[in-house]
Structure 1
Amino acid sequence: MDRAISGAVAELPATAADAVILRLTHTADYGLLWTGIAAALATRPGSTRRAALRGMVALGGASFVVNVILKSLVARRRPAAELLPVYRRLVNQPTSSSFPSGHSAAAVAFATAVALETPRTGLVLAPLAATVAYSRVHTGVHWASDVAVGATVGGAVAMATRRWWPVRESDEAKARIVREVPMLAEGKGLVLLVNPVSGAPGYDPTEDVAAALPAATVLVTEPGRDCVDQLEQAIAERTDAPAAVGAAGGDGTIAAAAAVALRNNLPLVVIPTGTLNHFARDLGVYDLLEVVDATGAGEAVGVDIAGLELSGADGARTYHWINTASLGAYPDLVRRREKWQDRWGKWPAFAAALVVTLRRSEPIRVRLNQQWHDVWFVFVGNGVYHPHGAVPAFRSRIDDGLLDVRWLRADLKFSRTRAVAALLLAAFGRSKVYSEQQVHELIVQLDEPEAVAADGEVLGEATNLRFSVAGQVATYRRDEENPRWATRARPHHRRSLAEWWDRRRGADDRSVGL
């Protein structure tokens, strides 16, 4: 079969495509073509930057498997150069084993890995990868079976990256639809708190939010003042009962609004203007357009709000949180991961942060549900995080009424080394160092006061803690199955409200003119 295919390709008539294919196969030497494309993709934040990083990881893995392992094990002679016309031969003929094709493996690995993060970009790269793979037969340096096996290896390596680095298949978590929420035409009845210092430096979203929701009562956070107190006072001073409460800011500001919404039995409006917007991403709200649509139509889902009761030498306190809480070294781990993840991606940044954190931290002694443990950290998620036995990356539901508890044991020999090895081997869930459980309530005792963090903020120190699901709040989210939103494009990358509002006003001006 190989001889038949190579013979048929050798007899193809000369065309202008010969020079193009010859040049293309040269540019793919040593992965230079794909490295250049990755560099271009990495200039854009979000999914395209993650795609570039995943593509390079897959390319490196495929090249190692093919060039270091398989070519060393299987010695195969390349096709005879004399079978091809001179104008189609490579000047420098490869001398390594013909089986399998490294160029094909790298091309398919990169394109497949990119497609996992951004299917549209992967679709654009697929013809280029296929052409590079074919070019190895066209220029007579590989048999067709070399190319087929190389492409298979590349695709397999790219898919295997999901084991270490999960791909989120849905852009929003599932939740029960709540139909008994008021329609807030232009934000009427909404008390909204805007944090102008959240998110991108130098950008204040207050004016854009006020313009998009002109009937809402818009407050601005006051330095040194508690956001919960500010919202509660604004509600108390109203002559009429508010219809909803909300916030524009990061997760800390959103958590404060969620606490007020839960206490006053009000629906919640979430406007993501923070840096990372973890809660809004899981909720499925990406920009102001979706907020305007959902509040105007009265579309919402039920969302769990978690509670945390702290008690120690300075008395008892109660907090509400929406994403995660933690003890021990986990806050330091998260800070390092968030510092590095825009540059490296979430999983590589987590791996590096774990190594650095475990090296520098000290274990703590805690009692989790009546059993004492020496641990490096305790992670508590509001809802079950995925994937299990790995880096907690996202929630598939935000209304399951469960807490996701994970901890890393410090009372085993070589626990730090075993934890890092398990992470690198994608065997975290099967390691004795790692434990997890899903519960409705978690009681924690410490032998000495330890700092507790929730939603990226340190709440204080305590010796006794009670984690629970405090209740559920109706939260506005556009129903994507509603036919009226069929023409609304869901954004695939983070953008500022100013960019959206400029485009929105421009579109409205053009429609008025028409």
Structure 2
Amino acid sequence: MRKRLNRINALDRRLVRRSASLRPTPADNALRSLSMSANHSRLWMTVAAGLFVAGDRSQRRGAVRGLAAVSLASALANGVAKPLFPRRRPPVEAVPLLRRLVKPPVSSSFPSGHAASAAAFTTALALESPGTAAVIAPLAAAVAYSRVHIGVHWPSDVVVGAALGSGVALGTRRWWAVRDDEPATLGPAKRTEPLPDGRGLLLVVNPSSGTDDGGELATRLRERLPAAHILELDGDLDLDAELDRRVRRGDIAALGVLGGDGTVSTVAEAAVRHSLPLAVFAGGTLNHFARDVGVEDAATTLAALNSGRLMLVDTARVRLDDEEERTFVNTASLGGYPDFVRLRERWERRIGKWPAAGFAMLAVLFRAQPLHATIDGERCALWMLFLGNGAYHPADQIPMSRPRLHDGVLDVRYLRADLRFSRTRLIFATFTGTLDRSATYVHRRVGRMDVQVDGAQVSLATDGEVNHEARRLTFASQPAALAVFREPLPEDAE
């Protein structure tokens, strides 16, 4: 071991001498300024802020993951590794005077905290947005090398620091899954009569959904679909009744919707009820269903309308107190989960889905009351119950994506409240990525499930809308119940 360390030290000294022998250039001042800008991770916080303000969804997720990785890597490098492995920094005279810092650091040289933070941020960003990380990587490499160039670290300090930072960033996947932005695989393809110019299409437009872009898209759709029947929602309209009335006239061949997941769910229910295909245009804030089906771009749906190409997807249904029935296309939830959904969706566009979900879970668990219920004949107390239309991934973490929409299953997850220290155990398991090994977390995939709640009726949230109450609920998957306009992809089911 000592011989190996001596060889590393000798190599470090040779590399530092070689760096010091480089002739002076304007790069000297640039590298010194760059190195100082990375003090206390200020550089990476600035880059993250820029990505968060001007970046797309994957870049914003990468910025949040990057800052989380930087925090952990910096804490390990500076708070743990440096005290455990003290090492003298290169002598002041090892580099020319022009390069030196006015106040060089006096802490342990091993490992480089700057290199750890640079590698952590870039690697974490690469998990979410590889193209953006490729642009940032030269900056991170320059920060890491600058620590040798200005004489405050040995090269091996930088190499180990970078390895530590990259390892920490890769480790974040254990408790924060990387979302797959690819659309889900759908069921078999079908054909119907093409609807050129929207002829025979009843398009429901929700002007209050999403952002201002929805108004621009509505205008564009009116231009591209001049023959379509347009139904614009207002506060007094009973949408279910109006859809039934218009479909019964006999001139409607398909339904369309421009709105968020709640509006999509309502129109999808009418499409299933009347055996009509559905054209989805993403007009909400999050657009989970449109994203999973692969129709976030309006051009995709417009092309399918002109070709008459359809894909079959699963829906799910819930019967409330053996009376009313509702369809949902994404998720349903009980207990504290409706509050969790509201908080997560309020925060996730700002800080990313996993951090928003983690903080929302903390907020809900601290104030939630246990819900006593019987699930498929088994009595239990729970904090919250989640049911997904289709199998969500990952199975052992907070659900992030839905890779398939044609399996005929409900993804059931609930958090038990009838075990000792269940709140503490759930929080620990969530933030350490060990939910799959926690007795407080139950995960099943079923085709049907019965829930009987003790006491008064409880709120049910479906597709982000909290507008139902019941004591007895029967959930069931409806395989291939909905036909959506979309061209088939190679990975879709045959």
TM-score normalised by length of structure 1: 0.89
Match of 1:354 in 2: 361
Q: Deviations over 1:66-119 (max 9, x none)?
A: 000111110111122212221122222221111111111111111121222222
Pairing 1:322-401 to 2, within 5 Å after superposition: 322-401=329-408
Distance apart, 1:362 and its partner CA: 1.1
> What residue is the counterpart of 1:507 in the other structure?
none
In the TM superposition, what is the alpha-carbon distance from 1:272 to its structure 2 partner? 1.0
277-286 vs 121-130, which moves further:
277-286
Distance in 1 separating the partners of 2:26 and 2:362: 53
- Matching of residue 462 in structure 1 with residue 473 in structure 2: no
Map 1:228-247 → 2, pairs under 5 A: 228-238=240-250, 240=251, 242-247=252-257
- The CA deviation at 1:332 is 0.9
Q: C-alpha distance in 1, partners of 2:445/2:58?
A: 30
- What does residue 412 of structure 2 align with? 405
Output the amino acid matched with 2:461.
Answer: A
Q: Which residue of 2 aligns with 1:29?
A: 39
User: Would you say 1:248 and 2:248 are equivalent positions?
Assistant: no
Q: Which amino acid aligns with 2:483?
A: A
Query: Structure 1 residue 479: deviation in Å?
Result: 4.5
Does 2:114 correspond to 1:107? no
Structure 2 segments unaligned to the other structure (5+ residues): 1-10
Q: How big is the shift at 1:177?
A: 4.3
| Alpha-carbon shift at residue 445 of structure 1 (Å) | 1.2
| 2:227 matches 1:215 | yes
The reply to whether residue 307 of structure 1 matches residue 317 of structure 2 is yes
- Aligned match of 1:491: none
Q: Take 1:73 and 1:144, find their aligned partners in 2: how far apart are those partners?
A: 19
Please tell me the residue identity of whatever aligns with 1:200.
T
Number of the residue aligned with 2:84: 73
CA distance in 2 between partners of 1:477 and 1:80 (Å): 66
SS at match of 2:226: coil
Select which of 250, 263, 286 maps to 1:276. Answer: 286
Secondary structure, counterpart of 1:394 in structure 2: coil
Say whether the 8 Å CA contact 1:189–1:243 is kept in structure 2: yes
Matches within 5 A, 1:183-222: 183-200=194-211, 204=215, 205-222=217-234
1:101/1:146 contact within 8 Å kept: yes
Q: Is the 8 Å Cα contact of residues 227 and 253 (structure 1) preserved in structure 2?
A: no
Q: 1: distance between equivalents of 2:414 and 2:333? A: 10
Picking from 450, 459, 466, the partner of 1:451 is 459
Q: Secondary structure at the match of 1:392?
A: coil
Structure 1 residue identity aligned to 2:77: V
* Superposition deviation, residue 59 in structure 1: 0.8
1:50-65 paired onto structure 2 within 5 Å: 50-65=61-76
**Residue aligning to 1:139:** 150
| C-alpha displacement of 1:248 | 0.9
Q: C-alpha displacement at 1:152, in angstroms?
A: 0.7
What SS class does the counterpart of residue 475 from structure 1 fall into? strand
**In the alignment, which residue of structure 1 is the partner of 2:6?**
none
| Cα deviation code 1:381-415 (max 9, x no counterpart) | 10111111211121011111100111111111111
CA distance in 1, matches of 2:181, 2:390: 16
- Supply the AA of the counterpart residue of 1:18: D
**For 1:22 and 1:460, how far apart are their aligned partners in 2?**
61
TM-score of the superposition, structure 2-length normalised?
Answer: 0.92
| Equivalent position of 1:503 in the other structure | none
Match of 1:9 in 2: 19
1:375 positional shift? 0.9
Match of residue 474, structure 1, among 458, 476, 483? 483
Amino acid at match of 1:308: V
Q: For the Cα contact (< 8 Å) 2:458–2:471, is it kept in 1?
A: yes
The DSSP-based 3-state class of the residue aligned with 2:231 is: strand
Amino acid at match of 2:374: R
**Partner secondary structure for residue 225 of structure 1:** coil
Q: CA deviation at 1:346?
A: 1.6
Counterpart Cα distance in 2 of 1:191 and 1:465: 32
Distance 1:300 1:10 in 2: 66
Once the two structures are TM-superposed, the CA of residue 471 in structure 1 deviates from its matched residue by 3.9
CA distance in structure 1 between the aligned counterparts of 2:129 and 2:195, rounded to whole angstroms: 35
SS in 1 for 2:470: strand
Structure 1 Cα separation of the partners of residues 318 and 343 of structure 2: 24
CA drift at 1:344 = 2.4
The farther-off stretch of 149-158 and 343-352 is 343-352
| Alpha-carbon separation, structure 2, partners of 1:368 and 1:182 | 44
Please say which of residues 366-375 and 11-20 is displaced more in the overlay: 11-20
- Between the aligned partners of 1:157 and 1:299, the Cα distance in structure 2 is 45
Report the AA paired with residue 211 of structure 1. E
* Corresponding pairs, count: 477
Mapped partners of 1:266, 1:56: distance in 2: 47
Deviation at 1:369, TM superposition (A): 0.9
Distance 1:299 1:65 in 2: 54
Is 1:441 paired with 2:455?
Answer: no
Checking the alignment, whether the CA contact within 8 Å between 1:193 and 1:231 is kept in structure 2 is no
How far apart in 2 are the matches of 1:18 and 1:300?
61
Distance 1:26 1:470 in 2: 59
Give the unaligned 5+ runs of structure 1: 483-514
- Checking the alignment, whether the CA contact within 8 Å between 2:408 and 2:478 is kept in structure 1 is no
1:65 and 1:5 map into 2 onto residues whose CA distance is: 26
- Cα pair 1:89 1:140 within 8 Å, conserved: yes
Q: Which moved more, 1:10-19 or 1:20-29?
A: 10-19
Residue deviations 1:426-445, cap 9 Å, x none? 21221111111000111111
Partner Cα separation in structure 2 for residue 468 and residue 348 of structure 1 = 31
Q: Does 1:224 align with 2:236?
A: yes
Shift of residue 54, structure 1, vs aligned partner:
1.4
Alpha-carbon separation, structure 1, partners of 2:403 and 2:489: 16
- 1:202 deviates by 9.3
Deviations 1:239-286 (A, max 9, x none): x4x332121111121112211221222221111111221111111221
**3-state DSSP of counterpart to 1:385:** coil
Please say if 1:152 is aligned against 2:152.
no
**Where does residue 107 of structure 2 map in the other structure?**
96
Query: For the Cα contact (< 8 Å) 2:70–2:120, is it kept in 1?
Result: yes
Q: CA shift at 1:446, angstroms? A: 1.6
Q: Equivalents in 2 of 1:392, 1:261: separation in Å?
A: 27
| Matched letter for residue 411 of structure 2 | D
Residue of structure 1 in register with 2:3 after alignment: none
